[in-house]
Amino acid sequence: MIKQLVMATNNANKLREAREILAPLGIEVLSQREAGANCDPEENGATFAENALIKAKAVYEAVKLPTIADDSGLCVDAMDGGPGVYSARYAPEGQHCVKLLEEMKNVPDGKRGAAFECTIAYIDESGSHTMTGECRGAIGHEQRGTNGFGYDPVFMVGERTMAELTADEKNAISHRGAALRELYKYLKERFGE
């Protein structure tokens, strides 16, 4: 089993989720800052997979350690899958939920379906591999909860928003959690116990 891998991010929430899910494998997950990678490649891919690979390759080239990167976003049915790969750039920082709720204000409950989607790219000296995860839900009518980030306060799973779930509840159903569990299986199969 590999001992360390680098996650092409400095986002504390993403790192925590990856560390929690990969912990049973005994793999130390380093942020790109901790690994000494100071790069911020332009994410100009047309898909989550392309963007994840762009980030993973850039960090891998800088540190030459097994690297993972994710790209994820919110795909809203009533917006033809948007904002999708543009989720992070959809609105100014802190305004994503406000803008989305405004755009969705006249959309009836039955048409508010959405999915969080995530693709994780893994790269090492032998090549790259991608895995995906999805969490279906709906867009609520107001922001609720304090445990999430990004679009979590408006993304309904059942009667609660993602931001109203505990970390364990969210990890069990989240798109990134699903993709990380696929990564866990891939690493376990590839490198054994």
Active site residues per annotation: 71
Q: Is beta strand 28-31 parallel, antiparallel or unpaired with respect to 82-83?
A: unpaired
Rounded distance between C-alpha atoms, residue 129 and residue 66, angstroms: 11
Q: Is beta strand 67-76 parallel, antiparallel or unpaired with respect to 113-124?
A: antiparallel
Residue type, 24: P
Residue type, 36: G
Rounded distance between C-alpha atoms, residue 154 and residue 83, angstroms: 14
Rounded distance between C-alpha atoms, residue 123 and residue 136, angstroms: 28
User: On the CB side of 187, how many CA atoms lie within 13 Å of its CA?
Assistant: 26
User: On the CB side of 27, how many CA atoms lie within 13 Å of its CA?
Assistant: 28
Question: Degrees (nearest 5) of the Cα angle 36, 17, 136?
Answer: 130
